[in-house]
């Protein structure tokens, strides 16, 4: 039997590995969370301290546990959407989602964040969320309200999102 050259074997395993991973797979540390995959390919993180995150299939993000207590306190989201549900009776110290355009922070609520085309869109489904640019004044969103954040200095405008827009975003997240 002929030996397979090492380079060919390495190339074979690289191609095999790439073929097994979903396209644009989310590479995220688990930060102590149990991870499962929904039928639509979304990743679901059930984390200690009452933090649950659903990341859209192909989302690019990282979970961060700054205080190293075993529960994430931040999500760095670079593309696609995530639904964040934080139970304030279990989670101390707040939670924030950081995107290239915005920072959305809360103490306990449920909200969705979508990053695409240079815009971060934030929708609150329960509770209250403060949203701001990395440098700038914050706006506070309540249930059914959203804001679209782009780079710049213009004031952020809070709007009640129309039902079709809410449904479109939440359906991407399996809601």
| pLDDT tens-digit map of 84-124 | 999 988 877 789 999 999 999 987 799 999 999 999 999 99
Residue 10's pLDDT band, with cuts at 50, 70 and 90, is very low
Each residue's pLDDT tens digit, 48-73: 989 999 999 999 999 998 888 888 99
Segment 16-34 shows an average pLDDT of 48
> What beta strand segments (E) does the chain contain?
34-37, 43-47, 51-55, 60-64, 74-86, 95-98, 103-106, 109-116, 119-126, 129-132, 139-141, 145-150, 159-160
What distance in Å separates the CA atoms of residue 150 and residue 117, rounded to the nearest whole number? 9
Look at residue 14 in the predicted model and tell me its pLDDT: 36
| Rama region for 82: left / alpha / beta (φ>0; ψ in -120 to 50; rest) | beta
């Amino acid at each position: 039997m002929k030996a397979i050259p090492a380079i060919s074997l390495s190339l074979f395993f690289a191609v095999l590995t790439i073929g097994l991973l979903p396209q644009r797979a989310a590479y995220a540390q688990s930060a102590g969370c149990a991870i499962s995959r929904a039928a639509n390919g979304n990743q679901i993180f059930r984390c200690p301290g009452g933090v649950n995150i659903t990341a859209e299939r192909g989302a690019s993000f990282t979970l961060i546990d700054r205080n190293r207590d075993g529960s994430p306190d931040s999500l760095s989201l670079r593309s696609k959407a995530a639904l964040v549900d934080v139970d304030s009776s279990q989670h101390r110290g707040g939670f924030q989602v950081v995107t290239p355009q915005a920072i959305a922070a809360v103490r306990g609520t449920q909200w969705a964040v979508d990053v695409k085309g240079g815009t971060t869109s934030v929708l609150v489904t329960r509770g209250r969320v403060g949203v701001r640019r990395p440098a700038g004044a914050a706006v506070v969103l309540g249930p059914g309200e959203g804001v679209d954040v782009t780079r710049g200095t213009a004031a952020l405008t809070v709007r009640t999102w129309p039902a079709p827009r809410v449904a479109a975003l939440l359906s991407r997240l399996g809601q």
